[in-house]
Structure formats: C-alpha cells, structure tokens
Amino acid sequence: MSNGNGNGKNGHAAPLTPRLAALKAVLPEHGRVLLIPHDYPDPDALASAAAMHLLLKEKFGVASRIVFSGMVNRAENREMLKHCRYGYTLAARLQLGRKRPAALVLDGVPWSGRVTIPPGVRIVGVIDHHPQTRAKKGFDGLMDFRPGTGATASIMYEYLKEAEIAVPSWLAALLLYAIATETLDFSRRFTPLDIEAYTALLPHANMKILGAIRHAALPRSYFALLRDAMDHAQLYGRVAWSHLDAVAHPEIVPEIADLLSRIERVTWTFCTAWRDDEMLISMRSSQPGARCGQLLRAVIGARGNAGGHFNMAAGQLDLTGKTPTEREELREEIVRDLIGWIERRSADSEEPFDTQAHPLVEHPAAPQK
C-alpha cells in the first residue's frame, strides 16, 4: 500500500512532486477516468495503462478503466493481458453515461491519428515518448512528453516511484516486458531512466509470468505468415524488406521488420502488408540519426499517416476504391520511394549499395543470378 496520500485523507501527506501534482491537477473530482493506450496496443501501451491504473487508485483514490480500439492479437501480448489484473473495455463497446468522462492517453497522442478517442470523451492528459510528439495548441491538459525515452513504461515507473507505490509482481513483469520489447532488449535507443526502471523492477517481478509471456504458444497461422515473409524478403545493399499478402492482425508487420533487422550488415528494414482496405508499413533502422518516423511520413505524405521513433516507425495507407493493380502499383511506388530515401540518407556510409535487389532466401530450384 501507498504511504503517500495525495488527497490528504491521512492528514500527514508528504507534498506531491511536481509531476504528481501536475497529474492530480487534471484529475476529475468525481467519477472514473478512462485510460486510453494507442490503437492496437503493444506491450508498452498496455503496461503503461495498467501502471496508471495502479497509480490513480493508490495515490489519488481515483477509479479508472482501460479502454482501447483495435485488437490485441500477438500471442505474447495476449498472454500479457491474461496476467493483467485490471480489466479492459473495447472502445466500440464502451457505454457512456450523460457525463463526459475524463481520459488519459498513454504511449501516443490523440492528435496523431493513431489513437482513437471514443466520442464524448474529454482528454485531460497525455503521456508519451515518441520523438515527433508535439504539444497541441489549445490543449491545456497534462502533457508529459519525453522524446527519446525508450518506453512509456519507464516514465510510468518514475510516477510510481515518486508516489512511493509498491509495484505488484505481476505488474513489474508486464513493465519489464514492455521496456524490453520497446528497446529490443536495449539494442535500440534508451535513456538512463529505462535502465533504472528495468533494474529497479527486476527484483520485484514475477519471473514465471515474464517467462510465460516471452514464450507464449504460437498459432500455426503464425508460421504460415513467417514463410510468406521469408518468400517475399528482398535484399538490396544494407536494406531488407518484405511483404505480406493478407494479414488479419497488424502486429505481425513490425515483427517481420524486427526479424529482418537481424540479417548481418543490414541497417534498414521495412515490411508492407495488405490488411482489408489498408496497406500497413513498419520500418526499422539501426543507423544513427535514421529518423524513421520522419522518413516514413515524408514517403507516405498525404496518402496516409505515419509515426514513430528514431529507429522505428509505422504507417498506413487507405486503399478503399483501388483495384488490385492500383494497389500493387502503389506498393511498388512506396517501396521505390523508401529505398530512394534510404539511399540518400546513407550516401555518406562507407558501404556501397548493391546494383540490384535479390531474394533473401535463394531457393535451390530458382535460377541463380
């Protein structure tokens, strides 16, 4: 239990840190707060929402509910949800009363196009770590933006630490998993806060839960997608990319981009995929100063939306009304543009680019180039 008490019920509350005071200032006097992670929440978004749930309850006596749009389908993330002691509601099923409920947005910003805000909901605060995150004019709620921090989960750890709240072992496991996946086990950008959060939570985590999440059982369909991705994978100099013909769930797309990034000498990867009337793109780079989010936004432009970090980005394009041929042409155009941008950005790197693309996996039956 907390020994601090923000509402002063115990009469001997320590003064709030500036961060906690700023949060308290936007909380409603009555009623429940909605906690909204970005759409198709990943481990960082989910763990951050759970951490906020604990913080609001323990520090401010405020009840909250996790609400999100899109599904959680990746096996590891579903396993994570199984161990989350707080319930959640899908935004589409949300029943709102007459009052407009207050909401906090985690690991994304409501004006990015990547966080769906249910109608009638009033945003009172946003906590995010994406580098291109900007304040919005006219928004006077809490804005805790820490571009460059490895994970929003690390930011939430800091709130819990300042509030002197003991993190339950299941939540410590979720937060650890979030930090590890978001920084790709610290192989991507991180800050001292991420290290502090990770090392401070580790002794308190339920390691059985962490193991169950990391090694969650995978459906057979996952392996079919893997094969599809390997069959389509292409290499061109330091770039590797692939394409998935039909995905039911978007989470596999960044996973393929991550997998390709482990190919030796490859520093840029991306994966495209068809999903209903959308084209999804995930991008990764280990090149310093890669600014993937900015690059992907430049390439997609007005054709869709994109966002991300220095080393990772994701985007989507609406394909409604396009014929299969038009869709494929658009995909080829995007692939060409992406490679063009990458080449220009890597122009001063020592390694020359190959003159032509070739398959990642050469099948013995295929004619050799």
Q: Which residues bind Mn ion (CB under 5 A)?
A: 44, 107, 152
**Residue with Cβ nearer Mn ion (38 or 59):** 38
Smallest separation (angstroms) from Mn ion to the CB of 106: 9
Q: Which of 362, 366, 262, 269 lies closest to 314 in space, CA to CA?
A: 269
Q: Are strands 268-275 and 102-106 parallel, antiparallel or unpaired?
A: unpaired
In angstroms, what is the minimal distance from the CB of 282 to Mn ion? Answer: 14
Within 10 angstroms of residue 196's Cβ, the number of other Cβ atoms is: 14
Q: For residues 190 and 236, which CB has a smaller minimum distance to Mn ion in the complex?
A: 190
* Between 65 and 188, CB nearer to Mn ion: 188
Copy the structure tokens of residue 322.
């396009």
Compare residues 106 and 240 and give the one whose CB is closer to Mn ion.
Answer: 106
Task: Determine how β-strand 64-68 pairs with β-strand 33-37.
Answer: parallel
Choose between 77 and 152: whose C-beta lies nearer to Mn ion: 152
The distance of closest approach from Cβ of residue 132 to Mn ion in the complex, given in angstroms and rounded to an integer, is: 13
Beta bridge partners of 67: 89
Min separation Cβ 174 and Mn ion, Å = 13
In angstroms, give the least distance from the CB of 165 to Mn ion: 21
Q: Which residues contact 47 (CB under 8 A, 6 or more apart)?
A: 80, 153, 156, 171, 174, 175, 177, 178
- Separation between Cα atoms, residue 43 and residue 180, nearest integer Å: 9
Q: Residue with CB nearest Mn ion?
A: 44
Quick one: 191 or 234, whose CB is closer to Mn ion? 191
Cβ of residue 274: shortest distance to Mn ion, in angstroms? 25
Minimum distance of Mn ion from residue 108's CB (angstroms) = 8
Kindly state the smallest distance separating residue 69's Cβ from Mn ion, in Å: 16
Strand 312-318, strand 304-308: pairing: antiparallel
Beta-carbon neighbour count of residue 301 at 10 Å? 12
Is the CB of 60 or the CB of 157 nearer to Mn ion? 157
| CB-nearer residue toward Mn ion: 130 or 238 | 130
Considering the complex, state which of residue 44 and residue 228 has its C-beta at the smaller distance from Mn ion.
44
Structure tokens at 190: 């991180």
Q: CB of 266: closest distance to Mn ion in angstroms?
A: 24
Q: Which long-range contacts (CB under 8 A, 24 or more apart) does 91-100 make?
A: 91/36, 91/67, 91/116, 91/118, 94/34, 94/67, 94/118, 96/120, 96/121, 99/31
